[in-house]
Amino acid sequence: MPTALIVEDEPEANHLLAMLVQLRGYRTDSAYTGGEALEKVRSQPPDIVFLDLMLPDINGYEVCKSIKARRTTSLIPVVMVTARIASENRLQSFRVGANDYIPKPYTPDQIFQAMADADAWRRDIENHESEGEVPLETHGDGETLRQLALMRSLLVARSSLDPDSIARIGAAFAEIAADADNWGLVHKIANVGTLAYVIESNHLTVTLRDTSGWLRQDPVPADLRWPKAVPAAKFDEIASHGSGELLTFRKRFDKAEGSGVD
Protein backbone atom coordinates (compact mmCIF):
# COMPACT_ATOMS: atom_id res chain seq x y z
CA MET A 1 0.00 0.00 0.00
CA PRO A 2 1.48 3.42 -0.94
CA THR A 3 2.17 5.95 1.80
CA ALA A 4 1.51 9.69 1.92
CA LEU A 5 3.16 11.98 4.44
CA ILE A 6 0.93 14.90 5.49
CA VAL A 7 3.01 17.84 6.73
CA GLU A 8 0.63 20.33 8.37
CA ASP A 9 0.94 21.88 11.82
CA GLU A 10 -2.82 22.30 12.40
CA PRO A 11 -4.04 18.90 13.71
CA GLU A 12 -7.56 19.23 12.29
CA ALA A 13 -6.33 20.26 8.85
CA ASN A 14 -3.78 17.45 8.94
CA HIS A 15 -6.49 14.92 9.79
CA LEU A 16 -8.91 16.16 7.12
CA LEU A 17 -6.31 15.96 4.37
CA ALA A 18 -5.26 12.50 5.56
CA MET A 19 -8.87 11.31 5.33
CA LEU A 20 -9.09 12.49 1.70
CA VAL A 21 -5.84 10.79 0.75
CA GLN A 22 -6.94 7.55 2.40
CA LEU A 23 -9.97 7.48 0.10
CA ARG A 24 -7.52 6.78 -2.74
CA GLY A 25 -6.07 3.73 -1.00
CA TYR A 26 -3.06 5.38 0.65
CA ARG A 27 -1.78 4.80 4.13
CA THR A 28 -0.98 8.14 5.77
CA ASP A 29 1.56 9.40 8.24
CA SER A 30 1.61 12.87 9.77
CA ALA A 31 4.28 15.44 10.62
CA TYR A 32 3.60 18.73 12.37
CA THR A 33 6.96 20.47 11.90
CA GLY A 34 9.49 20.70 9.09
CA GLY A 35 12.13 18.93 11.12
CA GLU A 36 9.81 16.03 11.88
CA ALA A 37 8.91 15.81 8.19
CA LEU A 38 12.55 15.60 7.08
CA GLU A 39 13.31 12.95 9.69
CA LYS A 40 10.37 10.80 8.51
CA VAL A 41 11.22 11.25 4.83
CA ARG A 42 14.80 10.12 5.42
CA SER A 43 13.99 7.16 7.66
CA GLN A 44 10.99 5.80 5.74
CA PRO A 45 10.57 7.59 2.39
CA PRO A 46 6.87 7.98 1.51
CA ASP A 47 5.40 7.75 -1.98
CA ILE A 48 4.14 11.35 -1.87
CA VAL A 49 4.42 14.36 0.46
CA PHE A 50 1.68 16.95 1.00
CA LEU A 51 3.50 19.95 2.42
CA ASP A 52 2.24 23.15 4.04
CA LEU A 53 4.39 26.26 3.55
CA MET A 54 3.86 27.77 7.01
CA LEU A 55 5.36 25.51 9.67
CA PRO A 56 6.47 26.39 13.19
CA ASP A 57 10.19 25.71 12.69
CA ILE A 58 11.39 25.77 9.07
CA ASN A 59 9.19 26.74 6.14
CA GLY A 60 7.92 24.41 3.45
CA TYR A 61 10.31 25.82 0.85
CA GLU A 62 13.30 24.63 2.87
CA VAL A 63 11.71 21.24 3.51
CA CYS A 64 11.02 20.73 -0.19
CA LYS A 65 14.49 21.92 -1.18
CA SER A 66 16.09 19.47 1.24
CA ILE A 67 13.98 16.54 -0.03
CA LYS A 68 14.82 17.32 -3.65
CA ALA A 69 18.56 17.70 -2.97
CA ARG A 70 19.07 14.12 -1.73
CA ARG A 71 19.64 11.27 -4.15
CA THR A 72 17.51 8.89 -2.10
CA THR A 73 14.52 11.25 -1.89
CA SER A 74 14.71 13.56 -4.93
CA LEU A 75 12.11 11.57 -6.87
CA ILE A 76 9.44 11.70 -4.16
CA PRO A 77 6.59 13.89 -5.45
CA VAL A 78 6.05 16.95 -3.24
CA VAL A 79 2.71 18.77 -3.37
CA MET A 80 2.51 22.17 -1.71
CA VAL A 81 -0.85 22.77 0.01
CA THR A 82 -1.02 26.25 1.43
CA ALA A 83 -3.15 29.28 2.28
CA ARG A 84 -0.45 31.51 0.79
CA ILE A 85 -1.99 32.06 -2.61
CA ALA A 86 0.11 34.89 -4.11
CA SER A 87 1.50 33.96 -7.51
CA GLU A 88 5.04 34.36 -6.19
CA ASN A 89 4.39 31.58 -3.64
CA ARG A 90 3.44 29.25 -6.47
CA LEU A 91 6.51 30.20 -8.51
CA GLN A 92 8.86 29.87 -5.53
CA SER A 93 7.41 26.44 -4.76
CA PHE A 94 8.35 25.29 -8.25
CA ARG A 95 11.79 26.91 -8.00
CA VAL A 96 12.62 24.73 -4.97
CA GLY A 97 11.38 21.58 -6.70
CA ALA A 98 7.69 21.07 -5.88
CA ASN A 99 5.77 18.82 -8.25
CA ASP A 100 2.46 20.58 -7.69
CA TYR A 101 0.87 23.49 -5.85
CA ILE A 102 -2.64 23.56 -4.38
CA PRO A 103 -4.01 26.71 -2.71
CA LYS A 104 -6.33 26.51 0.29
CA PRO A 105 -9.24 26.13 0.47
CA TYR A 106 -8.89 23.17 -1.88
CA THR A 107 -11.43 20.76 -3.30
CA PRO A 108 -11.16 16.96 -3.08
CA ASP A 109 -10.76 16.83 -6.86
CA GLN A 110 -7.64 19.00 -6.66
CA ILE A 111 -6.06 16.60 -4.18
CA PHE A 112 -7.07 13.55 -6.20
CA GLN A 113 -5.70 15.09 -9.42
CA ALA A 114 -2.38 15.85 -7.76
CA MET A 115 -2.20 12.23 -6.60
CA ALA A 116 -3.01 10.94 -10.09
CA ASP A 117 -0.32 13.16 -11.62
CA ALA A 118 2.20 11.98 -9.03
CA ASP A 119 1.30 8.35 -9.75
CA ALA A 120 1.82 8.93 -13.49
CA TRP A 121 5.21 10.54 -12.86
CA ARG A 122 6.27 7.65 -10.60
CA ARG A 123 5.27 5.14 -13.30
CA ASP A 124 7.43 6.98 -15.82
CA ILE A 125 10.33 6.91 -13.38
CA GLU A 126 9.87 3.20 -12.71
CA ASN A 127 10.09 2.67 -16.47
CA HIS A 128 13.41 4.53 -16.35
CA GLU A 129 12.10 7.52 -18.22
CA SER A 130 14.76 10.23 -17.96
CA GLU A 131 13.62 12.72 -20.51
CA GLY A 132 11.13 15.53 -20.85
CA GLU A 133 10.21 18.78 -22.54
CA VAL A 134 10.07 22.18 -20.91
CA PRO A 135 7.81 24.82 -22.50
CA LEU A 136 9.26 28.32 -22.76
CA GLU A 137 6.14 30.41 -22.34
CA THR A 138 5.30 34.03 -21.68
CA HIS A 139 3.12 34.79 -18.65
CA GLY A 140 2.94 31.09 -17.83
CA ASP A 141 1.56 29.72 -14.58
CA GLY A 142 4.91 28.35 -13.48
CA GLU A 143 4.91 25.28 -15.73
CA THR A 144 8.36 26.17 -17.08
CA LEU A 145 9.80 26.33 -13.56
CA ARG A 146 7.99 23.13 -12.58
CA GLN A 147 9.39 21.18 -15.52
CA LEU A 148 12.91 22.53 -14.93
CA ALA A 149 12.63 21.32 -11.33
CA LEU A 150 11.62 17.84 -12.49
CA MET A 151 14.73 17.76 -14.69
CA ARG A 152 16.88 18.69 -11.69
CA SER A 153 15.27 15.94 -9.59
CA LEU A 154 16.15 13.39 -12.26
CA LEU A 155 19.72 14.68 -12.46
CA VAL A 156 20.13 14.32 -8.70
CA ALA A 157 18.88 10.73 -8.81
CA ARG A 158 20.40 9.52 -12.06
CA SER A 159 23.69 11.28 -12.66
CA SER A 160 27.03 11.42 -10.89
CA LEU A 161 27.02 15.21 -10.99
CA ASP A 162 27.58 16.87 -7.63
CA PRO A 163 24.87 19.13 -6.15
CA ASP A 164 26.71 22.34 -7.06
CA SER A 165 27.01 21.29 -10.71
CA ILE A 166 23.31 20.43 -10.84
CA ALA A 167 22.43 23.79 -9.27
CA ARG A 168 24.55 25.60 -11.89
CA ILE A 169 22.89 23.69 -14.73
CA GLY A 170 19.47 24.53 -13.31
CA ALA A 171 20.45 28.20 -13.03
CA ALA A 172 21.65 28.23 -16.64
CA PHE A 173 18.35 27.00 -18.02
CA ALA A 174 16.42 29.27 -15.67
CA GLU A 175 18.40 32.19 -17.14
CA ILE A 176 17.51 31.03 -20.66
CA ALA A 177 13.84 30.64 -19.70
CA ALA A 178 13.77 34.15 -18.22
CA ASP A 179 15.24 35.56 -21.43
CA ALA A 180 12.58 33.73 -23.47
CA ASP A 181 9.87 35.11 -21.19
CA ASN A 182 11.15 38.68 -21.56
CA TRP A 183 11.40 38.37 -25.35
CA GLY A 184 7.89 36.96 -25.55
CA LEU A 185 6.51 39.84 -23.47
CA VAL A 186 8.13 42.45 -25.71
CA HIS A 187 6.98 40.77 -28.93
CA LYS A 188 3.60 39.64 -27.56
CA ILE A 189 4.28 35.97 -28.30
CA ALA A 190 2.99 33.35 -25.85
CA ASN A 191 4.96 30.27 -26.94
CA VAL A 192 8.60 31.19 -27.48
CA GLY A 193 10.28 27.79 -27.67
CA THR A 194 11.01 24.51 -25.92
CA LEU A 195 13.79 22.76 -24.02
CA ALA A 196 13.92 18.99 -24.58
CA TYR A 197 16.25 17.02 -22.31
CA VAL A 198 17.55 13.46 -22.20
CA ILE A 199 19.59 12.07 -19.30
CA GLU A 200 21.66 9.06 -20.33
CA SER A 201 24.15 6.95 -18.39
CA ASN A 202 27.04 9.38 -18.77
CA HIS A 203 25.71 12.64 -20.17
CA LEU A 204 22.89 15.16 -20.27
CA THR A 205 21.70 16.52 -23.62
CA VAL A 206 19.37 19.51 -23.79
CA THR A 207 18.02 20.79 -27.11
CA LEU A 208 16.78 24.36 -27.15
CA ARG A 209 14.31 24.98 -29.98
CA ASP A 210 13.25 28.44 -31.10
CA THR A 211 9.65 28.42 -32.39
CA SER A 212 9.12 32.19 -32.54
CA GLY A 213 12.19 33.91 -34.01
CA TRP A 214 13.63 34.56 -30.56
CA LEU A 215 17.11 33.14 -31.25
CA ARG A 216 17.20 33.63 -35.01
CA GLN A 217 16.55 37.35 -34.76
CA ASP A 218 19.74 37.93 -32.78
CA PRO A 219 22.17 35.01 -33.23
CA VAL A 220 24.77 35.42 -30.48
CA PRO A 221 26.97 32.70 -28.90
CA ALA A 222 25.25 31.19 -25.87
CA ASP A 223 27.84 32.31 -23.32
CA LEU A 224 27.48 35.91 -24.53
CA ARG A 225 23.71 35.88 -24.84
CA TRP A 226 23.32 34.49 -21.31
CA PRO A 227 26.50 35.64 -19.55
CA LYS A 228 25.54 35.14 -15.92
CA ALA A 229 24.70 31.48 -15.46
CA VAL A 230 25.42 29.65 -18.73
CA PRO A 231 29.25 29.95 -18.58
CA ALA A 232 29.19 28.88 -14.92
CA ALA A 233 27.47 25.60 -15.86
CA LYS A 234 30.60 24.58 -17.82
CA PHE A 235 28.85 22.62 -20.54
CA ASP A 236 31.18 20.33 -22.50
CA GLU A 237 29.55 21.34 -25.75
CA ILE A 238 27.15 24.00 -27.02
CA ALA A 239 26.36 23.58 -30.71
CA SER A 240 24.17 25.63 -33.05
CA HIS A 241 22.25 23.87 -35.82
CA GLY A 242 20.67 24.96 -39.06
CA SER A 243 19.71 28.62 -39.18
CA GLY A 244 20.23 29.06 -35.46
CA GLU A 245 16.81 27.86 -34.41
CA LEU A 246 18.33 24.90 -32.53
CA LEU A 247 21.00 24.88 -29.82
CA THR A 248 22.29 21.70 -28.19
CA PHE A 249 23.87 21.71 -24.74
CA ARG A 250 25.78 18.64 -23.56
CA LYS A 251 27.19 17.90 -20.13
CA ARG A 252 29.21 14.72 -19.57
CA PHE A 253 29.70 12.87 -16.30
CA ASP A 254 31.05 9.55 -15.08
CA LYS A 255 28.73 6.59 -15.03
CA ALA A 256 27.26 6.13 -11.57
CA GLU A 257 24.09 5.06 -9.85
CA GLY A 258 23.31 8.55 -8.65
CA SER A 259 24.44 11.71 -7.00
CA GLY A 260 23.35 14.26 -4.49
CA VAL A 261 23.52 14.03 -0.70
CA ASP A 262 22.62 10.63 0.70
Q: pLDDT at position 259, please? A: 46
Longest dimension (CA), the chain: 59
Please indicate, yes or no, whether the overall pTM of this predicted structure exceeds 0.85: yes
Cβ neighbours of residue 84 closer than 8 Å, sequence gap 6 or more? 53, 54, 103
Contact in structure between 153 and 147 (CB atoms under 8 Å): no
The pLDDT > 90 percentage for the chain reads 85
Taken in order of first residue, the domains within the chain and their CATH numbers are 3-126 (3.40.50.2300), 131-252 (3.30.565.10)
pLDDT tens, position by position, 54-80: 999 999 999 999 999 999 999 999 999
Cβ neighbours of residue 251 closer than 8 Å, sequence gap 6 or more? 161, 165, 169, 203, 204, 233, 234, 235, 236
Q: Which of 132-141, 162-171, 216-225, 253-262 has the lowest mean pLDDT?
A: 253-262
Cβ neighbours of residue 238 closer than 8 Å, sequence gap 6 or more? 221, 222, 223, 230, 247, 248, 249, 250
Q: Find the mean pLDDT for residues 220-231.
A: 92
50 bridge partner residues: 6, 79
Q: Average model confidence (pLDDT) for the chain? A: 93
Indicate if the pLDDT at residue 6 is higher than 70.
Answer: yes
With cut-offs at 50, 70 and 90, classify the pLDDT of residue 179.
very high
With cut-offs at 50, 70 and 90, classify the pLDDT of residue 218.
confident
With cut-offs at 50, 70 and 90, classify the pLDDT of residue 126.
confident
